[in-house]
Structure 1
Amino acid sequence: MPAPVPSPRWLAVAREIGWGRLALTALIVLVMSALCVVAGRWQYGRYVTKADAIEAYDAAQAHDVADVEEVAGSGDELADGAEWRAVTVTGVIDPDSVVALRNRPVDSTAAYQYLAWMSLDDGTAVLVNLGWAPVPSEDETEAALADALPQGEVTLTGTLRRFEEDDGKRDAGATRIVPAQVDDPGTDSIVPGYVIASDGCAGLCGDDGPLDEVPLPTLSLGPHLSYAWQWWAFSLLVPVGAWLLTKRDLELKRDPSGARPAPAKPRRRRHPSDEEIEDAL
């Protein structure tokens, strides 16, 4: 009768740990590693989005100031490379369209920003962010703004931005910079973006005006790239940690006391005595 073939050592160890335990550990490792990879891809996606925004900003700012009609393009979306361009708008501000944009703090100050339509010579309407004022003075600001709005045609300079995504709210005031949350401009011809007024906001900003200029958002890459690498590193560390825990559990299973065997001391080599050397000769 042939001698039984011994099982491989890894198979014997797997049986000792238990197939159910190994299957559960493998499942947990796969799920956690996958979640770490997904989280890393999400952080990397945010990094790419911000990097593209900074690149687009730098490219737009390299252009000279131009009329908004020349830059924005036609259609429902801004032309490629139009966002962040410095533009001029020449038209008439509609005083009845002024609306407060709520929940927009500026430099950690609770503030309202004020939006209004400007009508151009060709009948096109442009949504303009005129400026901001602290919340406590809302009533006074609206009254002062109504008195300070320039009459007739005015030219202002600003930065062209894409419309924000509509959140569907239709309460008093606006919560997103989107045409649907501002009064009807009375025309179907609308520039597919809004302008953040600067350079005095046509006399509405500064020491003599009721508003202050809305600062452009700070563009920064942030820590997203480092976070992505951390999540991906975690995905590699998960199986290592699972292996160490499984190894420790196996040691406890073999010795429930948890005591680790002391390493064997090496035997010191004994040198022969003089008598043993003489006998050998």
Structure 2
Amino acid sequence: MRELRQRYAFLATPTWIGWFAVCALFMVVCYFLGQWQWDRREATLDEIGTIQSNYDQDPIPYAEARDIFDSADEDDEWKTVDLTGEYLSEDHLFARNRPHSGQVGYEQVVPFRESSTGDVVVISRGWLAPASEDGSLPESNPEPPSGRTEVTVRIKPGEPEISRGAPEGQLASIELAEMESQVGYDLMTGAYGEMASESPQPAEQPRAFPRPSVDEGPHLSYSMQWIAFGMLSFVGWGYAARLQARSNDLGLMGEDEDEGPAGISKRERLREARAAQRRRQGRFTDEDAEDAWVDQHLSDRS
């Protein structure tokens, strides 16, 4: 054990302590990056749970969902609601930069007056492809049904305001307070509805919204990878230490034959110490293999 401590005494030097500190710092950084990915996975799993709980449930009447449209909670997202009333189609707007199937287009956003309460709820009727010329407008604008209409929607919380302008008649995001200021009358500003169906059904409709994904993504594997990267830094440090120890052994054995008081060279003394260690251990270790290789090559060179 004393010989092992002497062989690796260089690890107590400032250089090797500094490299160990670098590895420790890298490990801490990797841990926090792994935790960040883990937190993202937890948030995704919460969203998936909400989808699975609400998306396929039977619709509830608007009277039961009115408070949700006034002030929605995250757990209310994707709940299905039935409304009866009429579209205020003259006040429709287009929400821009909306992704769908790998394309970026628009959502047609239309106020809807609910008949039993007079409340005006915002409904996104679906996705519209951009015009082929410059994409500044949708290529079509399907008219909502006129008169009394029955609509089934899925609740979506209002979106936050973003610091980006939009042309007249368009929204940078479905920020309900901004839409309220544009139409000039009161809206339910806690949530809006993504259309699932409407009756009567017009001849032309915007493209329907796809079912939300329940794939949790690669966050778990990324989290594990970051932790593994941090641990590998210590593996690399240990491997470098072994290489340095072997290099020191080679340097010691390659010195001039400095005879001791008993006429024994440094090389021979080192070999005897290695042999004694092997006898004490009673097995052939990786350390023994390294020593044998060094001894053999130095003997061949001599």
Quickly say closer, same or farther: Cα 1:140–1:175, change in 2 above 3 A: same
Residues 68-217 of structure 1 mapped to structure 2, 5 A cutoff: 68-71=62-65, 73=67, 77-79=71-73, 81-121=75-115, 122-136=117-131, 138=137, 140-142=139-141, 145=142, 148-172=143-167, 173-184=170-181, 185-188=183-186, 190-199=188-197, 203-204=201-202, 208-217=203-212
In the alignment, structure 2 segments of 5+ residues that lack a partner are 255-289, 297-302
Quickly say closer, same or farther: Cα 1:75–1:118, change in 2 above 3 A: closer
Deviations 1:110-167 (A, max 9, x none): 422111221223232212111122112646513xx3xx23333322112111222321
Quickly say closer, same or farther: Cα 1:233–1:156, change in 2 above 3 A: same
Alpha-carbon distance, 1:12 to partner: 4.4
Residue 224 of structure 2 is aligned with which of 229, 237, 241?
A: 229
Aligned to 1:113, what secondary structure does the other structure show? strand
Partners of 1:168 and 1:201 in 2: CA distance: 37
Quickly say closer, same or farther: Cα 1:160–1:249, change in 2 above 3 A: same
Partners of 2:145 and 2:99 in 1: CA distance: 26
Alpha-carbon distance, 1:71 to partner: 2.6
2:26 pairs with 1:32: yes
Aligned to 1:115, what secondary structure does the other structure show? strand
Is the 1:17–1:250 Cα contact (8 Å) retained in structure 2? Answer: no
Alpha-carbon distance, 1:14 to partner: 5.9
Quickly say closer, same or farther: Cα 1:180–1:253, change in 2 above 3 A: farther
Quickly say closer, same or farther: Cα 1:80–1:211, change in 2 above 3 A: closer
Alpha-carbon distance, 1:23 to partner: 2.6
Alpha-carbon distance, 1:64 to partner: 1.6
Partners of 1:152 and 1:76 in 2: CA distance: 25
Q: Paired residues, what number? A: 250
Larger displacement relative to structure 2 (51-60 or 185-194): 185-194
2:55 pairs with 1:56: no
TM-score, structure 2 length as denominator?
0.71
Residue in 2 that maps onto 1:220: 215
Partners of 2:104 and 2:241 in 1: CA distance: 54
Alpha-carbon distance, 1:229 to partner: 1.8
Residue in 2 that maps onto 1:275: none
Quickly say closer, same or farther: Cα 1:74–1:254, change in 2 above 3 A: same
Is the 1:73–1:79 Cα contact (8 Å) retained in structure 2? Answer: no
Partners of 1:132 and 1:164 in 2: CA distance: 17
Quickly say closer, same or farther: Cα 1:96–1:249, change in 2 above 3 A: farther
In the alignment, structure 1 segments of 5+ residues that lack a partner are 1-6, 266-281
Alpha-carbon distance, 1:52 to partner: 1.2
Aligned to 2:83, what secondary structure does the other structure show? strand
TM-score, structure 1 length as denominator?
0.75
Partners of 1:187 and 1:211 in 2: CA distance: 25
Residue identity matched to 2:35 = R
Quickly say closer, same or farther: Cα 1:158–1:262, change in 2 above 3 A: same
Aligned to 2:28, what secondary structure does the other structure show? helix
Partners of 1:16 and 1:244 in 2: CA distance: 14
Deviations 1:172-229 (A, max 9, x none): 222322214425354445151121112258635xxx2152212233221112112212
